Structure 1
Amino acid sequence: MDMRLNPIVRFAGSKLLRLGLLLLAVALFTFVLLSLSPIDPIQAYVGADMMLISPEQQELIAQRWGLDQPFLARLWDWLGQLLQGNLGISMVFNQPVIEVLANRFQASLQMLAIAWLISGILGLLLGIASGALEGSWIDRAIRLYAYTLASSPTFWVALLLLIVFSVSLKVTPICCAAPPGVLTEDVTIWQHLHHLLLPALTLSIIGIANITLHTRQKLIEVLHSDYVLFAQAQGERLWGIVRHHGFRNILLPALTLQFASLSELFGGSVLVEQVFAYPGLGEATVQAALRSDVPLLVGIVFFSALFVYIGNTIADLSYPIIDPRIRLGGNLEP
């Protein structure tokens, strides 16, 4: 029993230590970088009304947000609050950063989850079909689709889909997460899904490309291996070979790429939410950047690093389930 628990304890301890160091480094680097930005935080906070307020009012604003303190004093105070679990107050929303993150991520999580599942499933299926039918017209069509979308900017794809489905065909809403003027408690599930569909599909369409191309290449390598050639010589059919020999070999790399794509989805959601005016964490990131909201930006970067790290850890934990020969340390059992 102890022999089984020790690797798990070591693995968990190593992951937690790395996570703590990663979050501290990311948060510290982000805070320092944003604090040294040439953008005047007071002017960014006030906006177009900067000429209408007096120097005394500007000083009061600086005192309110601690901007009148020296850089090292602000850094030391911020580190003390961070160690206590306090990410500060958002200058844009005038709320605790943790509350802003919770509210905005709740809206983004549904879109990210749908996009992540669709891109993973379709990417794997298209990659298998393309690799198994190498050289056919199906393979060429799938590769053309994947290469085209892999090189397409996210905002351009979002604008194109918005013009086609929302403006021209009028089958999807133009913006927002709910019909304008409708209270949150009055929004039906269908209305919510209707507004969520196109942004989620936009993210998934782009995420499919990398998984498709990677799965295709891995399957081709498996199909050209010696043991597959031996199975073919014994009369086993193509799809039987893919199911019995190829699937397990391509599933682990595809799973790794799928969890690694969380960072790309998170970054892509910033542009997609701006195009569709979707009130999620991506839109909050843009507002915080435009108005130099340092506490909120640091909190978003901090949270995104935590989100991606947890996703990669889940991928590591799933490897022994898919292939029992793999241990948590990453080694194969003899």
Structure 2
Amino acid sequence: MKNKYYMKLTGKYLLRMVTLLIAVSIISFLLVSMSPVDPVQQYVGAVPVSLIYRRPVLDIIKEKFVTSLALMAAAWLFSGIIGFTVGCVMGAFHGKGPDKVLKKVCLIMCSIPTFWIGIVFLMIFSVKLGWFPMGMSVPKGIPTDQVTVLQRIHHLILPALTLSFLSFANVALHTREKLVDVLESEYVLFAKARGESGWSILKRHGLRNIMLPAVTMQFGSFSELFGGSVLAETVFSYPGLGAAASAAGMGSDVPLLLGITLFSALFVFVGNMLANIIYGVVDPQIREGYINE
């Protein structure tokens, strides 16, 4: 049964991936062709982008993505842990003081742009307190091969926290709604009538039922992380793929811009695919329903 599910799912997603890449390629090329800016003229007197590398676009994307991957992975973990924890607290205290305060905070965070959070973090934690460096992924004046892991983590924390604030509020609000639904269900009311404690109900019934939606929501946030990384990396001068995309757009580097656009579409597609696969693996009913389609 599982083998049939995986074979059908693989074929479906391969077809979708090819279709998506073709569509993104055509749309991106048409948009670039309709642009009033002449790429050749734009290079005259402008800051060069990928032309300074004199290398294939694929090599540049690989190099930049390694740096961005560490940033997005850390931000992804931060947003998931913080969002899930805050959502559980709001759901457990539904309608009470902690729920009202945290809900307002999450709603405010949903409307705050990433670059503004990054600037505020820089002013507080870098300029005023001096806890973190002003930017870059490694210390200045030190060869790359001599940079320690701790130094890289030190430069990574602040931009990762900034990027995590982009999606943790959505995860928190989503987790809260799912937990409230579970805690107001009939079987939870029956458990309360039997004298089961609040922590036992949250652990046995709440967390078990909200974990899967939270994980799915987290994997679906890949598009937000990739889009937010453009602004976060620009604010912190972090030399990743997002900063390369911003520079390519400003400098009208069409080959690099189209390459990053295709890669970002593939990256988001993989995130959504993983979310659907996890759904099918964890929930047999979804898997059986998909096979019988």
Instruction: Name the TM-score, length of structure 2 as normaliser.
Output: 0.94
Task: Work out which of the two has the higher radius of gyration on C-alpha atoms and give 1 or 2.
Answer: 1
The 1:279–1:48 alpha-carbon spacing in structure 2 relative to 1, beyond 3 Å, is closer
User: Which one of the candidate residues 139, 145, 158 is aligned to 2:105?
Assistant: 145
Q: Give 1:239 deviation, angstroms.
A: 2.1
Tell me the SS of whatever aligns to 2:105. Answer: helix
Determine if the alignment matches structure 1 residue 218 to structure 2 residue 178: yes
Which residue number in structure 2 is paired with residue 274 of structure 1?
Answer: 234
CA contact 2:216–2:278 (8 Å) conserved in 1 = no
User: Where does structure 1 lack aligned partners over 5 or more consecutive residues?
Assistant: 50-88
**Rounded Cα–Cα distance in structure 2 between residues aligned with 1:191 and 1:146:** 31
User: Where does structure 2 lack aligned partners over 5 or more consecutive residues?
Assistant: none
Which residue number in structure 1 is paired with residue 225 of structure 2?
Answer: 265
User: Which stretch shows the higher mean deviation, 271-280 or 177-186?
Assistant: 177-186
Determine if the alignment matches structure 1 residue 26 to structure 2 residue 24: yes
CA contact 2:171–2:217 (8 Å) conserved in 1 = yes
**Rounded Cα–Cα distance in structure 1 between residues aligned with 2:217 and 2:31:** 30
Determine if the alignment matches structure 1 residue 237 to structure 2 residue 237: no
Determine if the alignment matches structure 1 residue 315 to structure 2 residue 272: no
Tell me the SS of whatever aligns to 2:94. Answer: coil
> Quick one: percent identity of the two aligned structures?
49
The 1:4–1:192 alpha-carbon spacing in structure 2 relative to 1, beyond 3 Å, is closer
**Rounded Cα–Cα distance in structure 1 between residues aligned with 2:261 and 2:2:** 36
Which residue number in structure 2 is paired with residue 69 of structure 1?
Answer: none
The 1:160–1:5 alpha-carbon spacing in structure 2 relative to 1, beyond 3 Å, is same
Which residue number in structure 1 is paired with residue 85 of structure 2?
Answer: 125
CA RMSD of aligned residues (A): 1.9
CA contact 1:177–1:192 (8 Å) conserved in 2 = yes
CA contact 2:136–2:237 (8 Å) conserved in 1 = yes
> Which 4+ runs in 1 deviate beyond 6 A?
none
CA contact 2:216–2:279 (8 Å) conserved in 1 = no
**Rounded Cα–Cα distance in structure 2 between residues aligned with 1:303 and 1:252:** 27
Which residue number in structure 2 is paired with residue 246 of structure 1?
Answer: 206
The 1:172–1:206 alpha-carbon spacing in structure 2 relative to 1, beyond 3 Å, is same
**Rounded Cα–Cα distance in structure 2 between residues aligned with 1:138 and 1:160:** 25
**Rounded Cα–Cα distance in structure 2 between residues aligned with 1:224 and 1:116:** 30
Which residue number in structure 2 is paired with residue 174 of structure 1?
Answer: 134
* Aligned residue type for 2:134: I
